[in-house]
Structure 1
Amino acid sequence: MFLSACGEAPKKQSGSPVATTEADSTETIAKITQEKDTVPKEEEEEKPFVLTEENAIDFFFNYQKNLPTTRVKLTTSLGSFTVELYDNVPYHKANFIYLTKKGYFDNTMFHRVVKDFIIQGGNADNVETARKRTEIGRYLLPPDTRKGYKHHRGTISMPSSEINNPHMLASPYEFFIVVTDPGSYHLDGGYTPFGRVVEGMDVVDLINRQPVDDGDWPSKNIYIKKAEIVK
C-alpha cells in the first residue's frame, strides 16, 4: 500500500498529526486520466466546479454563511459516533459539511490509529477515493487556532499537509480525533479543532484499541461506511 510509505506516524507526546499522501498513485491517476480522455467532446465542455488553491477560501466563505449548527454522524464498520461542529471555525466547518454532502467520506477508512493518542480518518488506498479527490479538487485550508479551543479528549481536528507546508496548512480531506484523557494539549496552536464528539465516544475508543502494524495502520481495515448530516 503506498499510504504506508508516507511520513512518520504521530507519537503520543511529541509527534504531530500529518496527512497521509493523497490517495492518487501514478497508476490510479493514469486510470482516471484515461477515463476522462474517453469522455465525448460535448460533455467535456460542461466543466464541473472544482476547488483549487485560488478559489477555495472564497467558496467556503460564501458556503458557510447560512449553515446552521451542524452535527455529522459517521457510521463505521465498528459502530457509529456523532460530532458537533463549531460555528466560529467557519472554513473548517464548511469544508467538513461540504465533503459530507458530496459523499466524500463514504467508503474511506480510519487509516491511522495511534494508541491512547488519536484515530485519523478520511483516506483510502482505492480508485474511488482518488477519483473523488480529483473531482472535488486540490486545495488546503489555513489554520484557525485562535478561537480558544483545545485538543481535549473527543476533539476533532485537522492534520496539516505533509507537502511544502511551512505554515501548517490543513489537509482538507482528513481529520483526527483525540483519544488521550484528558487531552493532547501539545497539539494546541498547531492544528485546528473544529468540533467534538457528542455521541459514541465508546466507538472512537474501540477503534483506537484495534491492532495495528508498525506504521499505525490497522491490521484489519476500519471503514467509514457513511457520513451524514443529522440534527
Structure 2
Amino acid sequence: MTVEKLISIAILMLFFLSSCGETPKEPPKSTAPVNIEEDSVAVDSIPAKKEDSTAKKEKFVLTEDNAIDFFFDYQKDLKADKVRITTRFGSFTVQLYDNVPYHKANFIYLARKGYFDGTQFHRIVKDFIIQGGNSDDVETGRKRSEIGRYLLPPDTRKGHRHHRGTISMPSSEIDNPHMLASPYEFFIVVTDPGSYHLDGDFTPFGRVIEGMDVVDEINSVKTGQGDWPYQNIYIQKAEVIE
C-alpha cells in the first residue's frame, strides 16, 4: 500500500471519530405563552376565592323556639303604638297597649312586613265582633310560610277588658289547652258596652281610637255560613303610624 493511501485512510478515521463524540445541542426554548387548562392541577392548586360577604344571607323565619326571644328584643326600642287599617268602607286606627309587649310587637311587626295587606275580615258576627287577618287566597298562605309558624302565650292579667272597640287575639284552632294565641289574626269587639265573657281567655292588646263607625259598618254586612261575608272585605292597607 502506498504512503498516499495510508495518509488518506488515517484522515478519514480521525474525521469519523470526531463526529461520533459530538454532544447534541438542545432545541431552542419556545417564547410562546403556555395555555393552562381550566381543570388542570395548576388551577386547582390555587386557593378558592372567599365568598363575597354581601352574599344573600339565609332568610329569617319565626318558630316556636325563637318567637318569644325575638319579640322580647323587638319591643325594647319600639316607639310606635298605632296602626291605621284601611278597607273599602274607610279607615280606622287602633292604639296598642304598652304593657302587653309581645302582642303589641307582633302586630307592629306583621304590619311592617305587609302581612295584613290583602287579607280579609273573614268572620263577622252581628253585634259581637269582626275578625280579620285571614283569607282564602294563596298569597296569605305564602306570606305565613315566609314569616314562620309560631304561637303567642296569653297575656290576660294586665287589667284590660273586652270593652267595645277592644282589639284582641283569638286562640289557635289546634289542640290548645293553654289558649295560645294565633298571631296572624285579630278581632275587634263591637258589643256595647263590651263582651266581658271573653275576659281571661283572650288577650286584649289595644283599642280603636278613631273610626269606630267604620268597624260598625263592617259588622253590618250580610254573612253566610261560617259567618263569612257574602262580599269579601279586604284590608287594603295596614300602616304603622311612626
With structure 2 as the length reference, what TM-score do the two structures score?
0.76
1:126: Cα distance to partner?
A: 1.0
Corresponding letter in the other structure for 1:173: Y
1:166: Cα distance to partner?
A: 0.5
Residue matched to 1:229: 240
| 2:121 matches 1:110 | yes
> Per the alignment, in what secondary structure is the counterpart of residue 227 of structure 2?
coil
Contact 2:169/2:182 (CA < 8 Å) preserved in 1? yes
Residue matched to 1:21: none
1:70 corresponds, among 77, 81, 87, to 81
For residues 52-131 of structure 1, the aligned pairs below 5 Å read 52-131=63-142
> Per the alignment, in what secondary structure is the counterpart of residue 70 of structure 2?
helix
1:69: Cα distance to partner?
A: 4.6
Contact 2:124/2:229 (CA < 8 Å) preserved in 1? yes
Larger Rg: 2
| 2:70 matches 1:47 | no
> Per the alignment, in what secondary structure is the counterpart of residue 127 of structure 2?
coil
Inter-partner Cα distance in structure 2 for 1:215 and 1:125: 13
Inter-partner Cα distance in structure 2 for 1:126 and 1:116: 27
Cα gap change, 1:175/1:71 in structure 2, threshold over 3 Å: closer, same or farther?
same
Inter-partner Cα distance in structure 1 for 2:139 and 2:80: 30
Residue matched to 2:161: 150
1:116-153 deviations in Å (ceiling 9; x for gaps): 00000000111111110000000000000010000000
1:45: Cα distance to partner?
A: 7.7
> Per the alignment, in what secondary structure is the counterpart of residue 204 of structure 2?
strand
Which segments of 5 or more consecutive residues in structure 1 lack a partner in the other structure?
Answer: 1-43
| 2:226 matches 1:215 | yes
| 2:173 matches 1:162 | yes
Residue matched to 2:208: 197
1:77: Cα distance to partner?
A: 1.7
| Higher RCO by CA contacts (8 Å cutoff, separation 6 or greater) | 1
Residue matched to 2:183: 172
1:141 corresponds, among 152, 160, 179, to 152
Corresponding letter in the other structure for 1:181: D
Which segments of 5 or more consecutive residues in structure 2 lack a partner in the other structure?
Answer: 1-54
Inter-partner Cα distance in structure 2 for 1:45 and 1:153: 46
> Per the alignment, in what secondary structure is the counterpart of residue 100 of structure 1?
helix
> Per the alignment, in what secondary structure is the counterpart of residue 175 of structure 2?
coil
Corresponding letter in the other structure for 2:94: V
Corresponding letter in the other structure for 2:60: F
Corresponding letter in the other structure for 1:79: G
Contact 1:69/1:87 (CA < 8 Å) preserved in 2? no
Inter-partner Cα distance in structure 2 for 1:166 and 1:119: 24
Q: How many residues matched?
A: 188
Inter-partner Cα distance in structure 1 for 2:135 and 2:58: 26
Inter-partner Cα distance in structure 1 for 2:168 and 2:218: 17
- The CA RMSD over aligned residues, in Å, is 1.2
2:198 corresponds, among 181, 187, 192, to 187
